[in-house]
A and B are shown apart, each in its own frame.
Chain A
């Protein structure tokens, strides 16, 4: 089983700042890496798929990068609505797994 490790666990930033979230896989996941945003009491929302493709309706301030085992979600300038928990996710064979999440909180 591939383990996804997200860092940091918590990120405290101010609106307008840049957020950089990391996701490291225990083995290569090729280009099958996705990112989700989840706010309290809500379902996860797809942000990025296949490492760097923004889902429909996702603002350009969200971008994804990386390859192999190391991936990054960048929010170029935090908006008030971006404070949430972010999860990375991969699929290998017939198992889909998620990272443990990074909480982006207001400083």
Chain B
């Protein structure tokens, strides 16, 4: 079974940094585009970023460009999100989500992790 387990969330001050991780299992991680999707408390879903299976292409929502960096380590079956210059509006549950088909970015999200909570507050 596909499993995605996020970690690394926590409380950080505005302007601070945090690195999220997503451990993947149950599929060939190196064959899939991977995504981060977030959900602010009581709000809807927002796609944040994605990365190609080999890491050669990365895409971001405008609101995080220049502050967040998505990366992956296929040897460790892991996805990461480095978040710098954090703002109050970045506070959310961050989900790791897999593309539906191998070697394609896909148009929807086939599998999701349970999420990790990021709180931005002084």
Interface residues of A (CB under 8 A from B): 32, 34, 36, 42-46, 49-50, 55, 87, 89-91, 94-101
Interface residues of B (CB under 8 A from A): 35, 37, 44-47, 50, 59, 61, 95, 100, 105-115
Contact indicator A44/B45 (Cβ below 8 Å): yes
Shortest C-beta distance, A55 to chain B (Å), equals 8
In the docked arrangement, what's the CA distance between A42 and B50, Å?
A: 21
Partner of B107, one of A34, A42, A87: A34
Shortest C-beta distance, A23 to chain B (Å), equals 12
Contact indicator A49/B100 (Cβ below 8 Å): yes
Residues of B within 8 A of A49 (CB): 100, 107-108
Residues of A within 8 A of B35 (CB): 96
A-B contact pairs, 21 of them (CB 8 A): A34-B107, A34-B108, A36-B45, A43-B95, A43-B113, A43-B114, A44-B112, A46-B108, A46-B110, A50-B108, A87-B44, A89-B109, A91-B107, A95-B47, A95-B59, A95-B61, A98-B44, A99-B44, A100-B44, A101-B44, A101-B45
Shortest C-beta distance, B56 to chain A (Å), equals 14
Residues of B within 8 A of A99 (CB): 44
Residues of A within 8 A of B108 (CB): 32, 34, 46, 49-50, 89, 91
* Chain A minimum-CB-distance residue to B108: A34
* Chain B minimum-CB-distance residue to A45: B112
Known: A32-B107, A49-B107. A87 touches B112 (CB 8 A): no
